Amino acid sequence: MSIIRNDSRQSNRWRQVRVGVLALALAITAVAVPAYAADGAGTLVTVASSKSFEQVSDAVKSLVAKNGMMVMATVDQGKMLSMTGLSLKATVFLIGNPTVGKQLFEQNHAVGLYVPLRIAVYTDTDGKTYVQYDKPSALLEQFKNEKIGMVAQMLDEKIGGLATMAAQ
């Protein structure tokens, strides 16, 4: 009987360790994403919305498709963090277009660290919903490549318009 209890405690302990590791990985990811001053020259763009989290999320998915892109993955951060006891609405959409991605990867494979692009939709503690993304040009300028820079500028406009429209 004591062996079974011991196994049960070990199982619970491993579950706690796994949840702790997941929480740590998410925290590191959040810190690792660069955020610059909100003076217009930085990379992080935040668009506030008066719509609900669900409405903005649905609008992002719809507008991505209408703009010739696709949602390649969805990360439900709220669901993941609920395992730690944190309750929030937050989803990250990985979006892109394989043809555009090919243009970037032909120049430098390291662009894969930044594409597909990420758009976050979340509800903050103030109850408002926000759309947030990093400007592709700011992320990709480090490659010092004219072709990557041109594509990144085009993506700035496309993602900026998409985020604004989703929030309206």
Burial of 111 (0-12, 13-18, 19+ CB in 10 A): buried
Is residue 11 predicted with pLDDT exceeding 90? no
Of the candidate ranges 26-35, 56-65, 104-113, 145-154, the one whose mean pLDDT is the lowest:
26-35
| Contacting residues for 50 by C-beta, under 8 A, at least 6 apart | 128, 129
Q: pLDDT tens, 72-128?
A: 999 999 999 999 999 999 999 999 999 999 999 999 999 999 999 999 999 999 999
pLDDT of residue 16: 53
Q: How many other C-beta atoms lie within 10 A of the C-beta of residue 147? A: 13
Higher pLDDT pick, 72 / 29: 72
Q: Which residue is it, tokens 């997941």?
A: 22
Strands (E), 64-162: 70-76, 90-96, 117-123, 129-134
Q: In what order do the strands lie in the sheet with 70-76?
A: 44-49, 129-134, 117-123, 90-96, 70-76
CB distance 90 to 120 below 8 Å: yes
Given pLDDT bands bounded at 50, 70 and 90, which one contains residue 13? low
* Separation CA 47–CA 162 (nearest Å): 11
Of the candidate ranges 1-5, 29-33, 49-53, the one whose mean pLDDT is the lowest:
29-33
What value does the mean pLDDT take over residues 38-47? 73
What value does the mean pLDDT take over residues 148-160? 97
Mean pLDDT across the chain: 84
